[in-house]
Amino acid sequence: MKKVAIITGANGGMGYEEAKEALQQGYYTIMACYCPSRSEARRQQMIEETGRYDVEIMALDLSNLQSVRDFADKIKSKFDHIDILMNNAGTLETGLHTTVDGLERTVSVNYVGPYLLTRLLLPLMGKGGRIVNMSSCSYVLGELQFPEFFQRGRKGFWQRILVYANTKLAVTLFSFDLAKRVKGKGITVNAADPGVVNTKIIHLQNKLLDPLADIFFRPFIRTPRQGAETAIRLMFDAENEGQTGTFCRSNKVVKLGDKYIHHKQMQELWDETEKIVQNFLE
């Protein structure tokens, strides 16, 4: 039986590397992309680089919860199982944007959308299944306040880095929480921190600063492949079999304190998120 891997944001830098690795290792690979028409060239590139053809693009807009549900329904109609879910896609918005679901867009793309997708696809996963969520060291700046987190990203004025950090704290807590909930099924859940990676997400959207960053900053940070390496190992390495509920950076488990492992808002975050996605789970 062919193994199946789903990678969100697979047309981007790290997502591409993760999807290519899945294809190279013999998985039927789903590139879950926001804009499929713009992703075909990347799919063809992947085929040329691997010599394998079992790769498919499917539309997924994480800023639209109905799109997440539609994607999951298509997966369920086509496959009776999936083996790997890599929640890689993310955004760092340049302003406050509200989705059709009334969510701040960064929160929807980075956290609520992946949460819903994971919940919908869990029935297709069994023993040996692996879920990897892309987090970030910025979680340390995170602070969750409800309902402001969902509506505006944070309480008070909107600030892109702090909103992003809040989503990464939520992703990290979700990873720890879900790992405990599905451990009995033999499914592992881990969070990966890629470090600072040279991808489009870190562009400053500034005509003066971006050219300077191209010269003095980006050449010295991680390439997409280097950034994806930790997630790739969590997805495929035999030595990571059974490892669950961890936060990893540079291919090593980072021991987070009880403040995060047993975060006081972990249950509240789960409950509040369930309220938002409830209609899409039925």
Write out pLDDT tens, residues 181-239: 999 999 999 999 987 655 554 444 444 434 433 433 344 455 878 889 999 999 999 99
Q: Name the packing angle between helices 40-50 and 13-24 (round to 10°).
A: 40
Q: How far apart are CA 195 and CA 117, in angstroms?
A: 24
Write out pLDDT tens, residues 243-276: 999 999 999 999 999 999 999 999 999 999 999 9
Nearest alpha carbon to residue 179 among 256, 276, 101: 256
Q: Would you state the structure tokens that stand for residue 16, as one six-digit string?
A: 């591409």
Residues for the chain: how many in total? 282
Mean pLDDT of 33-53: 94
Contact 32, 71 (CB under 8 A): yes
Mean pLDDT of 5-32: 95
Question: Coil, strand, or helix at residue 254?
Answer: strand
Contact 118, 72 (CB under 8 A): no
Q: How far apart are CA 95 and CA 152, in angstroms?
A: 11
To which residue do tokens 């280097």 refer? 226
Q: Would you state the structure tokens that stand for residue 257, as one six-digit string?
A: 């304190």
Residue 223 is predicted with a pLDDT of: 84
Q: How far apart are CA 58 and CA 61, in angstroms?
A: 10
Residue 215 is predicted with a pLDDT of: 39
To which residue do tokens 């869990």 refer? 122
Residue 217 is predicted with a pLDDT of: 36
Residue 84 is predicted with a pLDDT of: 98
Q: Would you state the structure tokens that stand for residue 206, as one six-digit string?
A: 């500034």
Residue 200 is predicted with a pLDDT of: 56
Asked whether the predicted pLDDT for residue 31 surpasses 90, the reply is: yes
Residue 220 is predicted with a pLDDT of: 41
Would you call 38 exposed, middle or buried from its count of C-beta atoms within 10 A (0-12, 13-18, 19+)? exposed
Nearest alpha carbon to residue 58 among 99, 21, 1, 8: 8
pLDDT band, very low/low/confident/very high, at 13 (cuts 50, 70, 90): confident
Q: How far apart are CA 16 and CA 29, in angstroms?
A: 11
Contact 13, 199 (CB under 8 A): yes
Write out pLDDT tens, residues 101-137: 999 999 999 999 999 999 999 999 999 999 999 999 9
Asked whether the predicted pLDDT for residue 58 surpasses 50, the reply is: yes
Percent of the chain, pLDDT > 90?
Answer: 84
Residues forming beta bridges with residue 246, ordered by sequence position: 190
- Residue range 4-281, CATH number: 3.40.50.720
φ/ψ region of 245 (left if φ > 0, alpha if ψ in -120 to 50, else beta) reads left
Count the neighbouring beta carbons within 10 Å of the beta carbon of residue 191.
Answer: 30
Domain locations along the chain:
4-281
| CA dist 243 → 20, 167, 178, 274 (Å) | 23, 23, 13, 26
Residue 37 is predicted with a pLDDT of: 87
